[in-house]
Amino acid sequence: MSALTRFEQLMEQMVEGSVARLFRSPVQPVEIARRLERAMESQQTISVNRVIVPSFYRAFLNPQDFVTFQPVRAQLEQEMATYLSDLAKERDFSMLEHPKVELAEDAAVARRGIQVTAEMTSVPSSSSTVQLVVPTATTPAPRGASRSHATLLLQTPSGQHPIQLQSTMVTIGRGLGNDVILEDNRVSRHHAQLRYRQRRFWISDLGSTNGTFLNGAPVGETALSDGDTISLGGLELVFRTG
């Protein structure tokens, strides 16, 4: 039985209880669950060994729709978090912590509307793990960068892991706010930056602890060529174009 089927059956059981009026609401719990699922699917972070998805979700409803859920809000939030946990296991996704769901009201949301936000964690990360993580792109690639077809090849024990460069400015580091996240103790939270200009990518160091090197030489701001080896404190990536 799928995670969604289990959730739907639970909602059907609730109809028979004291919350039957919930199912006369313009917004149905299953609709919210499907929006949460889409948020999970669209915000995957691709790791060398796993796919990480957000753990913390907020679903915003119009105040007139939200009031219907108030009597059972805590129960619904718990059941939706369980649904996301089951869904992650079903699809072999990983989470940084047990999922949490919050229902909230927002007058900017239209009647019958649902707006969902998702974050990797509900608290700031200590970045103490050694996973090598590359987020998937969430916005279209700028025209200039897409023409460059540039890729970073991350060297791992299992081989090379390609990282497509899909923006004209790409930050690399251990912190979750970077475009390319490399959770390795050798990499600083904000380690290096790539910029696309004059029809090529340039790399610069962001004051990292262990330094940024290009083909063994320290980097100030240097243009990249096909086949260059970038070292971030000892973690190596190969730059490829075409």
- The mean pLDDT value of the chain amounts to 81
Do 174 and 107 share a structural domain?
A: no
Q: How far is CA 190 from CA 49, 153, 172, in A?
A: 23, 19, 6
Residue 131 near residue 47, CB atoms below 8 Å: yes
Better-scored residue on pLDDT, 24 or 219: 219
Better-scored residue on pLDDT, 82 or 5: 82
Percent of the chain scoring above 70 in pLDDT: 79
CB within 8 Å of 21: residues ≥ 6 apart: 68
Nearest residue to 88 via CA among 62, 120, 58:
120
The domain in which residue 198 lies consists of 150-241
* Separation between Cα atoms, residue 221 and residue 106, nearest integer Å: 45
Residue 184 inside a domain? The answer is yes
- pLDDT the model gives residue 5: 82
Nearest residue to 180 via CA among 30, 46, 42, 68:
46
- pLDDT the model gives residue 96: 84
Do 112 and 197 share a structural domain?
A: no
Backbone angles phi, psi at 239, to 5 degrees: -90, 130
Residue 52 inside a domain? The answer is yes
Residue 145 inside a domain? The answer is no
Do 21 and 114 share a structural domain?
A: yes
Taking the model in full, what pTM does it have? 0.52
- Of the ranges 1-5, 134-138, 224-228, 232-236, which one carries the lowest mean pLDDT score? 134-138
Backbone angles phi, psi at 34, to 5 degrees: -70, -35
Check which CATH number belongs to the domain holding 67 and give it: 3.30.2320.60
Quick check: 162 pLDDT over 90? no
Percent of the chain scoring above 90 in pLDDT: 41
Check which CATH number belongs to the domain holding 167 and give it: 2.60.200.20
Structure tokens at 190: 């904000």
Residue 193 near residue 173, CB atoms below 8 Å: no
Residue 49 inside a domain? The answer is yes
- pLDDT the model gives residue 23: 52
Do 114 and 59 share a structural domain?
A: yes
Do 99 and 37 share a structural domain?
A: yes
CB atoms inside a 10 Å sphere around CB 24: 9
Do 38 and 81 share a structural domain?
A: yes
* Range with top average pLDDT, 117-126, 145-154, 227-236: 227-236
Residue 56 inside a domain? The answer is yes
Cα radius of gyration rounded to whole Å, the chain: 22
DSSP labels for 36-56? HHHHHHHT-EEESS-EE--SE
Quick check: 193 pLDDT over 70? yes
- Of the ranges 52-61, 155-164, 204-213, which one carries the lowest mean pLDDT score? 155-164
Residue 199 inside a domain? The answer is yes
- pLDDT the model gives residue 201: 95
Do 84 and 11 share a structural domain?
A: yes
Residue 138 inside a domain? The answer is no
Residue 14 inside a domain? The answer is yes
Which residue type, as a one-letter code, is found at position 17?
G
- pLDDT digit string, tens, across residues 46-90: 665 678 889 999 999 999 999 888 888 898 999 999 999 999 999
Confidence of residue 18 (pLDDT cuts 50, 70, 90): very low
- pLDDT digit string, tens, across residues 129-147: 334 454 444 334 444 444 4
Quick check: 19 pLDDT over 90? no
HSE on the CB side for 12, CA within 13 Å? 6
Mean pLDDT confidence for 95-123: 89
- pLDDT the model gives residue 140: 42
Confidence of residue 158 (pLDDT cuts 50, 70, 90): low
* Separation between Cα atoms, residue 176 and residue 127, nearest integer Å: 8
Do 78 and 13 share a structural domain?
A: yes
Do 234 and 160 share a structural domain?
A: yes
Q: Exposed e or buried b for every residue in 153-178, given b needs 16+ CB within 10 A?
A: bbeeeeeebebbbbbbebbbbbbbeb
Do 111 and 25 share a structural domain?
A: yes
Do 108 and 173 share a structural domain?
A: no
Q: Domain ends where: 71, 99, 119?
A: 119
Backbone angles phi, psi at 179, to 5 degrees: -75, -40
Q: How many domains does the chain have?
A: 2
Q: How far is CA 122 from CA 32, 54, 100, 207, in A?
A: 20, 9, 8, 28
Tokens 């991350």 belong to which residue?
Answer: 154
- pLDDT the model gives residue 99: 93
Do 104 and 206 share a structural domain?
A: no
